[in-house]
């Protein structure tokens, strides 16, 4: 059994003050930093959009490739990250899931490294965390979501509860960082 941590989109634009700031998004940072040493591998994903993306018909422009908004939150412990995934890189691509990364195949990486258990944290619960968790389940990984290390966009109130319910119903284990 090998465990990997996937840190989803802990980027400046998803933190308070960012272009698509998630309420309390920065509060996931100390929780993630406190658990990062407990995994065999640490992988990050980054939203990495081109300026003219169709994605920006739904969302304010955010995480434009090579901008400060697309950088990791400055407080995140990044030294342990062994693989950095970039997604949403095409004009016509939302790229919500880390499994849609275009710079490397995430599922090949997990299989090549014999990772069985994937723990997911980061931003945002109701979009990229959910999409990544559901893909992980569909690809056969034991999938865990760390509920005190995620924050939602909540376009509509309760979207976070719905997302957690959907992940749970599909077989994700929901747990808190203290239970690791």
Q: Does 47 bind ligand VGL (CB under 6 A)?
A: yes
Q: Does 56 bind ligand VGL (CB under 6 A)?
A: no
Is 9 an active-site residue?
yes
- Cis peptide preceding 124, ω within 30 of 0: yes
Structure tokens at 107: 């599922």
Binding site partner of 141, from ligand VGL, Zn ion, none, Cβ cut-off 5-8 A by kind: none
Q: Does 59 bind ligand VGL (CB under 6 A)?
A: yes
Q: Does 47 bind Zn ion (CB under 5 A)?
A: yes
CB 153, min distance to ligand VGL, A: 6
Quick check: 31 and 149 in contact, CB under 8 A?
yes
Task: Report the distance separating Cα 168 and Cα 162, nearest Å.
Answer: 10
CB 122, min distance to ligand VGL, A: 8
Q: Where are the beta strands (DSSP E) in 22-82?
A: 41-47
Q: Does 126 bind Zn ion (CB under 5 A)?
A: no
Is 128 an active-site residue?
yes
Give the DSSP H/E element, type plus range, for residue 10.
none
Selected catalytic residue, list 13, 15, 87, 126:
87
Cβ-based burial of 114 (10 A; exposed 0-12, middle 13-18, buried ≥19): exposed
Q: Does 123 bind ligand VGL (CB under 6 A)?
A: yes
């Amino acid at each position: 059994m090998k465990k990997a941590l996937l840190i989803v989109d802990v980027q400046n634009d998803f933190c308070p003050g960012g272009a698509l700031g998630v309420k309390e998004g920065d509060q996931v940072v100390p929780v993630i930093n406190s658990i990062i040493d407990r995994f065999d591998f640490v992988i990050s994903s980054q939203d990495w959009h081109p300026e003219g993306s169709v994605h920006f018909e739904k969302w304010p422009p955010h995480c434009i490739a090579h901008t400060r908004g697309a950088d990791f939150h400055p407080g995140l412990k990044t030294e342990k990250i062994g693989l950095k995934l970039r997604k949403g890189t095409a004009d016509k691509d939302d790229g919500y899931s880390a499994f849609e990364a275009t710079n490397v195949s995430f599922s090949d990486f997990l299989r090549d490294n014999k990772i069985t258990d994937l723990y997911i944290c980061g931003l945002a619960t109701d979009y990229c965390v959910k999409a990544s968790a559901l893909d992980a389940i569909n690809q056969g990984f034991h999938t865990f979501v760390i509920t005190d290390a995620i924050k939602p966009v909540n376009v509509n109130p309760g979207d976070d509860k719905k997302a957690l319910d959907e992940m749970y119903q599909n077989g994700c284990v929901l747990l808190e960082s203290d239970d690791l």
